[in-house]
C-alpha cells in the first residue's frame, strides 16, 4: 500500500531526532516488531472497530479527551495486527502513526464533518476530502483539519468558512507541520486551567 510506505518514511524522518543514535535492537520492543513497548496501542485486537465504537473507545489515549464530545473531529487507526488507536482528532492520530512506526495501518477512519448525524459517522480517509485551515474551530490544533465524506460538501464548507481542500496525506502533513505550535498552545492552556483550579481551591 503506497500510503503505508509514505507514512512510514515520513514518520521515520520525524522520529530520528526522538531516538537519537539508539538502534532498533537497543529499544524495548513488543513482539520483535521494533515499536517501543510504551507506544503500543493498549487495546485488544478488534476485527470490527466501528461497531459500538464510541462505547468501546470513549477517550483519546494521547490527550484523554472525550471522543463522544469531540465526535465531529475524531479519528480511528486500525492497525494490521487488529489493534485500534481511537483519537479525538487528526493531530492525535498523527501522533499514533508516528509512535507506532512499525505497525502498518490497515485502515484509518475520520468523522464525516459534513453529516448532520450525532455522532457523526466515520468514513475511510482514503475516500475523504479534508478542509484545512478554515474558520472552523480545530481540535487540539489552531489550524483545523476536518474530514468530509463528499468532496462537494467540503467545497461548500470551503466557500463558507475559507481554507483549502486536500486529501488525507495533505492533511496529515499539515498536522505534523503544526505539531510544535499546537503542543505549545495546549501546554499553555492546560497550565492556565491548573492555575485557575488552584486559585479556586
- Residue 6 has a pLDDT of 54
Provide the pLDDT for residue 102. 87
- Long-range contacts: 42-51, Cβ < 8 Å, 24+? 43/83, 43/84, 43/85, 43/86, 44/82, 44/83, 45/81, 45/82, 45/83, 46/78, 46/82, 46/83, 46/84, 47/82, 49/76, 49/78, 49/84, 49/86, 49/109, 50/76, 50/109, 50/122
Residue 38 has a pLDDT of 58
Q: pTM of this prediction?
A: 0.79
Task: Per residue of the chain (201 residues), give pLDDT as tens.
Answer: 455 555 655 444 344 333 333 333 343 434 444 455 656 788 899 999 999 999 999 999 998 999 999 999 999 999 999 999 999 999 999 999 999 988 999 999 999 999 999 999 999 999 999 999 999 999 999 999 999 999 999 999 999 999 999 999 999 999 999 999 999 998 998 899 899 989 998
Amino acid at each position: 500500500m503506497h500510503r503505508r510506505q509514505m507514512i512510514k518514511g515520513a514518520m521515520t524522518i520525524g522520529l530520528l531526532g526522538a531516538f537519537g543514535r539508539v538502534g532498533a535492537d537497543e529499544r524495548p520492543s513488543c513482539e520483535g516488531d521494533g515499536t517501543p513497548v510504551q507506544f503500543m496501542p493498549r487495546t485488544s485486537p478488534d476485527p470490527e472497530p466501528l461497531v459500538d465504537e464510541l462505547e468501546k473507545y470513549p477517550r483519546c489515549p494521547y490527550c484523554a479527551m472525550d471522543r463522544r464530545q469531540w465526535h465531529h473531529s475524531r479519528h480511528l487507526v486500525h492497525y494490521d495486527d487488529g489493534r485500534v488507536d481511537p483519537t479525538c482528532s487528526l493531530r492525535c492520530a498523527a501522533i499514533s502513526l508516528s509512535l507506532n512506526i512499525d505497525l502498518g495501518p490497515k485502515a484509518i477512519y475520520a468523522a464525516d464533518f459534513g453529516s448532520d448525524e450525532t455522532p457523526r459517522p466515520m468514513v475511510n480517509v482514503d475516500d475523504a476530502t479534508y478542509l484545512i485551515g478554515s474558520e472552523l474551530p480545530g481540535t487540539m490544533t489552531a489550524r483545523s483539519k476536518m474530514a468530509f465524506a463528499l468532496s462537494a460538501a467540503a467545497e461548500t464548507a470551503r466557500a463558507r468558512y475559507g481554507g483549502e481542500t486536500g486529501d488525507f496525506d495533505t492533511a496529515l502533513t499539515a498536522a505534523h507541520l503544526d505539531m510544535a505550535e499546537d503542543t505549545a498552545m495546549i501546554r499553555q492552556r492546560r497550565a492556565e486551567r491548573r492555575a485557575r483550579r488552584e486559585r479556586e481551591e
